[in-house]
């Protein structure tokens, strides 16, 4: 039976995170957007809560929190980490979506190491996050100028030279790429082989030939760092090939990349829900203060309908995300459901944010207004982690392969 009800402990921590978002995150949000940076001292304060709010948490056996604030298990002791991450992500995004993306930790680089890495690799690359005195980051290097949503088209090359691997290529739009201690880089031994030719490596900061290109100037989520990474004859020892060579007898490199998305796409959906909820609440409050919807005026009826539709869509998107998270916790394949959650939540949130700007008018377009920021922030949620078009391809392929029973 599907049980999406948060446990009392989870609800308690959810409320705690919401209060933190309201009283600590919101006050710095607009300035961080202008500065293109969240203060390091603020992020250090959040380091202790990293496990509770990051989809890339450090596993307990490698020095991590094992579920953050002790709220990632149900009454029977079964893991609910994915579900709890979704609850936390929504609340933090309600405060500012850039904050969650900027949290110290392995980030999107964590899942491929967890899914594909050897025990030695997991210990080696996760152990750095035991240091609570400094900010440490991991990153995920998949996107390229000519290969974003089409993962099979990556052009970064890798070739074996004795006991080392040599990587050449360029990655773009990498979250926390410039400040990451290590980055999981996907490359190909031969583009003709398609997915079967792909390999995943961990490239550490300071490796000769590995450098940061430009830091992107973005429309939204400006406080989150997004970088270009350059690999110019980067030489890596065999130990940096995730899983070892035997792991790549089939399409494991490609599947490792896809496995990450099964966990991260619902989180992206939850972030979109959090921003949409913030925009919807701002719209509701503005309407309360300026209109009496009980009066028989056509425009007022339209406003009431807009608010009702927004509430309905936010609730539907949240439930899609929760279902995908429940499946991940239960070990049930969830690629279709993860794509459904991400695709619907992003489109929903763009509409809710656009409606907020429409209703607030000039008040919503002021640079000092949160609504203007949320409107800029939300567009990327329809793009990163696979565009809406790619999500529909994923969904349709799985529906045709295994038709759903309703």
Residues acting as catalytic residues: 385
CA 275 from chain center: how many Å? 13
Under a CB-based contact definition with an 8 Å cutoff, are residues 110 and 138 in contact? yes
Q: Which two tokens stand for residue 228?
A: 């270009």
Number of CB atoms found within 10 A of residue 120's CB: 10
- C-alpha span between 62 and 123 (Å, rounded): 6
What tokens appear for 51 in the block?
Answer: 């496990």
Backbone angles phi, psi at 117, to 5 degrees: -75, 155
Q: 3-state SS of the chain?
A: CCCCCCCHHHHHHHHHHHHHHHHHHHHHHHHHHHHCCCCHHHHHHHHHHHHHHCCCCCCHHHCCCCCCCCCCECCCCCECHHHHHHHHHHHHHHHCHHHHHHCCECHHHHHHHHHHCCHHHHHHHHHHHHCCCCCCEEEEECCECCECCCHHHCCCEEEEECCEEEEEEEEEEEECCCCCCEEEEEEECCHHHHHHHEEEEEEECCCCCEEEEEECCCCCCCCCCEEEEEEEEEEEEHHHECCCHHHHCCCHHHHHHHHHHHHHHHHHHHHHHHHHHHHHHHHHHHHHHHCCCCCCCHHHHHHHHHHHHHHHHHHHHHHHHHHHHHHHHCCCCCHHHHHHHHHHHHHHHHHHHHHHHHHHCHHHHCCCCHHHHHHHHHHHHHCCCCCHHHHHHHHHHHHHHCCCCC
| Unique residue bearing structure tokens 């110019």 | 232
């Amino acid at each position: 039976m599907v049980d999406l009800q948060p446990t009392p402990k989870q609800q308690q921590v959810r409320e705690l995170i919401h209060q933190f978002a309201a009283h600590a995150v919101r006050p710095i949000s607009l300035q961080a957007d202008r500065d293109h940076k969240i203060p390091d001292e603020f992020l250090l304060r959040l380091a202790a809560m990293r496990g509770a709010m990051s989809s890339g948490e450090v596993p307990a056996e490698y020095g991590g929190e094992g579920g953050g604030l002790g709220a990632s298990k149900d009454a029977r002791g079964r893991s609910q980490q994915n579900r709890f991450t979704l609850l936390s992500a929504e609340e933090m995004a309600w405060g500012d979506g850039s904050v969650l993306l900027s949290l110290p930790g392995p980030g999107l680089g964590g899942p491929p190491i967890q899914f594909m890495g050897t025990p030695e690799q997991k210990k080696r690359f996760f152990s750095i996050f035991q240091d609570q005195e400094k900010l440490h980051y991991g990153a995920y290097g998949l996107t390229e100028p000519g290969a974003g949503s089409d993962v099979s088209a990556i052009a970064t090359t890798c070739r074996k030279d004795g006991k080392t691997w040599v990587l050449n290529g360029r990655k773009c739009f990498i979250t926390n790429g410039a400040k990451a201690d290590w980055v999981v880089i996907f490359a190909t031994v031969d583009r003709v082989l398609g997915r079967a030719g792909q390999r995943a490596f961990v490239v550490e900061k300071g490796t000769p030939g590995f450098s940061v290109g430009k830091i992107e100037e973005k429309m939204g989520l400006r406080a989150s760092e997004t970088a270009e990474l350059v690999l110019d004859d980067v030489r890596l020892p065999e130990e940096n090939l995730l899983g070892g060579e035997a792991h790549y007898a089939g399409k494991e490199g490609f599947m490792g990349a896809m496995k990450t998305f099964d966990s991260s796409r619902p989180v992206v959906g939850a972030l979109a829900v959090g921003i949409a909820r913030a925009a919807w609440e701002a719209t509701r409050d503005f309407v309360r203060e300026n209109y009496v919807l009980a009066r028989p005026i056509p425009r007022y009826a339209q406003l009431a309908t807009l608010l009702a539709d927004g509430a309905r869509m936010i609730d539907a998107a949240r439930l899609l995300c929760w279902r995908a998270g429940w499946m991940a916790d239960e070990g049930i394949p969830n690629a279709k459901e993860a794509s459904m959650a991400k695709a619907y939540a992003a489109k929903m949130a763009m509409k809710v944010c656009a409606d907020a700007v429409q209703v607030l008018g000039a008040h919503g377009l002021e640079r000092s207004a949160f609504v203007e920021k949320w409107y800029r922030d939300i567009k990327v949620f329809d793009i990163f982690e696979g565009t809406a078009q790619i999500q529909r391809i994923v969904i349709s392929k799985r529906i045709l392969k295994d038709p759903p029973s309703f």
